[in-house]
Amino acid sequence: MNATELRNLQAPLKEKYKTEPGSAIITLKAQGNIGEGIACKVETGRALVKAGLHPATGGDGSLACSGDLLLEALVACAGVTLKAVATAIGIEIRNGKIYAEGDIDFRGTLGVSKEVPVGFKSIRLHFQFDSDATAEQIESLEKLTERFCVVYQTISKGVQIETSYN
């Protein structure tokens, strides 16, 4: 896909969202089924993922860890956003990789220490790709990728979550 094809694909959507702002608000959903053991099966758009305890919390390592899934979602979103932005501004990316890693102090998760927060202490996102882009173009690509990546923005800025239990 080139920049013109991408613009042509997105133009009617952008126009609709300008004239009908409410149509741009979409509710994304995820669903999981609690099953045997300490696990939850999550249906993605393409596959069924069974998540369970990380070995640092007593898991055996055979199930996906929800922390890994969060980092994988960040990598996926950042990768798609990077390619879309590069295409839109005319930067060719021949190949590349995106890496995300995060640090968790499991004392918080296991309730060992009330002073240790639960969750990632830090996340590092690294892009490595082959391109003839100039330093100025890479700077633009970085700025726009971070600006438009939904998962990046959600994690970095936080979001209100409402819960209910039935």
Calpha distance 141→135 (Å, rounded): 10
Tell me the pLDDT tens digit for each residue of 29-75: 767 676 666 677 777 777 888 899 898 898 888 988 889 899 999 99
pLDDT value of position 19: 92
Q: What dotted CATH number matches 65-157?
A: 3.30.300.20
Domain-wise residue ranges, the chain: 65-157
pLDDT tens string for the chain (166 positions)?
Answer: 888 988 898 889 888 988 988 888 877 676 767 666 667 777 777 788 889 989 889 888 898 888 989 999 999 999 999 999 999 999 998 888 999 989 999 889 889 889 989 999 889 999 998 899 999 999 999 999 999 999 999 999 999 999 999 9
Tell whether pTM > 0.75.
yes
